[in-house]
Amino acid sequence: MTTATMETTGSRSRLLRQAGPRLAVAVVTAMAVFGIIVAAWQIQAGQVFSGPAAVGEAVVTDYGTLTVTRTNQTFVPDTQGPPSMAQMSGVNGADQLQVWVRFVNAEADNGVRYDPQRFRLVHAADPGHTARIAGSNLTPDRLRLGSSIEGQVWFDLASLPAGRYRLEYAASGSETVRIALGRLEPTVVTEGGSERGHGGTRSSDSPPDSPHKP
């Protein structure tokens, strides 16, 4: 190998060594920019981008946290319609899901509005099966900075099939929070003793809060 060839080879090696770090930085920067663009598009499009949290996990939001502290599935006797022996004895009825929630405003200086009507129950495998709340002891209001509120929402399960469900909360101008509630097997008992599902009371108590970020 000639002296000129050795010098050329050495120059190329030096150039590659010098370009290596700059190339790596450029690749990392490009990937970061792409990630920011995708995240911004998801937020603008109103997409659900957080994975389901679990009961007891404090889900981090842009205003603070939202937590499902516990759930309870229980049979509720039917009190509607003409009286019958089955109705008066509390035999007829359907299951109801009770969900306890906690809102915390740790970030929004001007307060954050909460509304229980924004909760819905969604079948995990078939999102076509959903339910809006049947009632709540919370009323729509604004939560000031540094404060929290706890309450309950409940869902009638009579029209829903068995399966795994999640709770969704779609706050205006914020991401949709999703929390996995586990498997539900609704029971419905109608006149004549017709029964669907597996009765009983099932509850889920939460462990201590642990932050869950989208």
Which CATH code fits 53-212? 2.60.40.1240
Over residues 26-65, the pLDDT tens digits come to: 545 556 545 544 444 443 433 444 458 999 999 999 899 9
pLDDT at 201 > cutoff 50: no
Express as a percent the part of the chain with pLDDT over 70.
58
| Choice between 106 and 86, residue whose per-residue pLDDT is larger | 106
Q: Using an 8 Å Cβ cutoff, are 199 and 95 in contact?
A: yes
**Does the structure show a pLDDT above 80 at 146?**
yes
Three-state secondary structure call for residue 88: helix
Question: Which segments of 51-184 are extended strands (E)?
Answer: 53-54, 58-60, 64-77, 93-105, 112-114, 119-123, 130-132, 135-136, 141-143, 148-156, 163-170, 176-184
Domain boundaries, the chain: 1-46, 53-212
Res. 25: pLDDT tops 70: no
Structural contact between residues 189 and 93, judged by C-beta atoms closer than 8 angstroms:
yes
- Per-residue model confidence (pLDDT) at position 129: 95
Helix/strand number for the chain, H first, E second: 2, 16
Mean pLDDT, the chain, integer: 76
For residue 89, give both structure tokens: 């004895």
Angstrom distance (rounded) from CA 170 to CA 160: 21
At 170-199, the pLDDT tens digits run 977 778 999 999 999 998 776 655 555 544
Rounded CA-CA distance 97/204 in Å is 11
